[in-house]
Chain A
Amino acid sequence: MTDTLARGGTTAAAPPHGPVTPEPVAPASPGPAPRRWGLSRRRSFARSGRAATVVDWTLIALLVGITLLSVVSPLLAPYDPVQPVGMPKLPPLSEGHLLGTDAIGRDTLSRVLAGLQTSWLLSVLVTALGLVIGSVVGVVAGMFGGWVDALLMRTTDVFLSLPSMLVAVAVSAALGPGLTNTVLAVLVVWWPYYARIVRGEVRALVARPHVEAARLAGAGWFRVMWRHVLPGVVPTAVVTASLDIGNVVMTLASLSFLGLGQPAPAPELGADTSRNLVEILDAWWIPLIPGLVVMLLSLLSNLAGDAVRNRLVRR
Chain B
Amino acid sequence: MVRLRFLGFRLLSLAGLLLVLSLVLFLLQEISDADPVAATIGGNASPEAIAAARERLGLDRPPVERYLAYLGGLVTGDMGTSFRTHRDVTTDIATYLPATVELVLFAFVVALVLGVLFAVSSLLRWPLAGPFRGLLFVGSTAPTFLLGLVGLVVFYQLLGWLPASGRGGVTDGPTGMTLLDSLLAGDLAAAGDALQHLALPALALAVGPALAIGRVLRSSLTETLGSDFVRTATSKGLTEPQVLVRHVLRNSVNAALSMSALQLGFMFGGVLLVEGVFTWGGLGSYLAASLPVSDFPAIAGVTFVLGALYVTVNTVADVLQSVADPRIRVS
Contacts and interface: CB of A to CB of B under 8 A. Distances in A.
Contacts of B146: 273, 288, 291-292, 294-295
Interface string A8-20: 1100101011111
B226 A33 contact: yes
Given A167-B24, A170-B303, A253 B215 contact: no
Contact of B31 (A38, A175, A294): A175
B230 to A, nearest CB: 7
Contacts of A298: 141-143
Interface stretch (B42-50, B78-86, B122-130, B190-198): B122-130
Interface in B105-142: 122-125, 138, 140-142
Interface residues of A, number: 71
A165 B262 CA distance: 13
B268 A166 contact: yes
A68 interface: no
Contact of A21 (B31, B142, B215, B276): B215
Interface residues of B, number: 76
A167 B153 contact: no
Contact of B269 (A42, A165, A274, A302): A165
B310 A250 contact: no
Contact of B276 (A26, A42, A257): A257
Contacts of A162: 17, 20-21, 24, 307, 310-311
A6 B262 CA distance: 10
B263 interface: yes
Interface stretch (B1-9, B60-68, B94-102, B206-214): B206-214
B306 A163 contact: yes
Interface of A: 1-6, 8-9, 12, 14, 16-21, 23-27, 29-31, 33-34, 36-40, 42, 158, 161-167, 169-171, 173-176, 246, 250, 253-254, 257-260, 270, 273-274, 277, 280-281, 284, 287-288, 291-292, 294-295, 298-299, 302
19 contacts: A3-B266, A3-B270, A8-B212, A8-B263, A17-B208, A21-B212, A21-B215, A21-B216, A24-B219, A29-B223, A40-B125, A42-B222, A161-B314, A162-B307, A167-B307, A170-B300, A173-B32, A250-B141, A284-B153
